[in-house]
Structure 1
């Protein structure tokens, strides 16, 4: 296969192909989460420094294995749910603000009726924002901490309309390089802080957000976040999936419901997987 690739593909692709094979067959070890496979954070760091790569990062395979893989059909499902619960979010004034999420990174966009061209991943962030507004009513003046932030799309969607006091983005150092490069392209309605797990102080927030990321961590790393911020904070919204290997010894959703006071399960809508759910607290 490598010999064939040498004839048709650039060296950069061949190098990536070799790394993916190492990952597939277990020679690259996942250490701190499902997404910490070395390929993904290394790519984020490179894209933050290389303007050509940054301009297309949302289409790169190394990135799409972790993020930006929502489908056109997913987008239709998000629109249907948002329109049912808070139609104003997808009407002209707001949707045009949200579409700015797609200016950088060259995402795959599709033409949706009454909305126009937009990426389904941006629609997914809007869908989460709709959940947050319905659960917590008003995010203005909130101090928010998001665990696992990708390129910062959720932060930008929220602060397109809401005016949060402070937004702390927590991820791997190399991932945060891309996050900050991306968010610095926008004038946000908030003050941003970029922190790794070990840089994060024990602190209380008005809202904790984690779209899948917390549930993909090993149990001993989850304990760090529980003790530093989750159990100290007033509210939380955590999309929980169930894909970790047993060796991670991660908390189950039932265990988290016992650990986090006044927490409850609600359905993820639309489902990204039949096993997924959302854990929320502080919404009463």
Structure 2
């Protein structure tokens, strides 16, 4: 009995060794995913370059599955759809209101320059007696949005809105007559004016200052006209920027 049992054990061991299954014993394509234990296959069990795009289900690979820097940029050219790109969609006009913005989200860096300009003269301007003169400006003190053309008389409103308009005129010394200054809209409409008696102190200039606010349309132009009736020619002085014209957008 002992000898028979030993013979059976010996034969069984030999049979196991002889019947061990290798790749040669498996018909190609006969093993399916259900025959492989989960997580049994490792990277080293798969030959490099054998898995192609058709072997991977759409959407099955996420960013978490990719090592940083493993996909070069030249492989991504033309593959990103608009939804996956970093270009933000266009916003409809008026779609972003104040309640949509976080406090402090819009700072000076996000804002366009405010339409503003201040111009003056670098030298005096001859003023004949009792003659209306429109002042031309050859110095731009501040004009970031090109509201003024050098040596032109007008400042132009680039957008519609309410504007602050101010002007000054420095008349050379003479105690006779009166001094006038007016801001003119589009060459015809007087929107601000001042008429004063001159300073009578010997050698003292007379300065006229005026200011106003006005709703302007885009493209409207403002100019400064002056007049003196002292009985003789005078000069409009450029000293200390007293002779100037300024236009600043306040709001819509």
- TM-score tier, shorter chain, comes to under 0.3
- Normalization by structure 1: what TM-score? 0.19
**Structure of greater relative contact order (alpha carbons < 8 Å, 6+ residues apart):** 2
Indicate the structure with greater helix content.
1
Indicate the structure with greater strand content.
2
Instruction: Give the number of the structure whose alpha-carbon radius of gyration is greater.
Output: 2
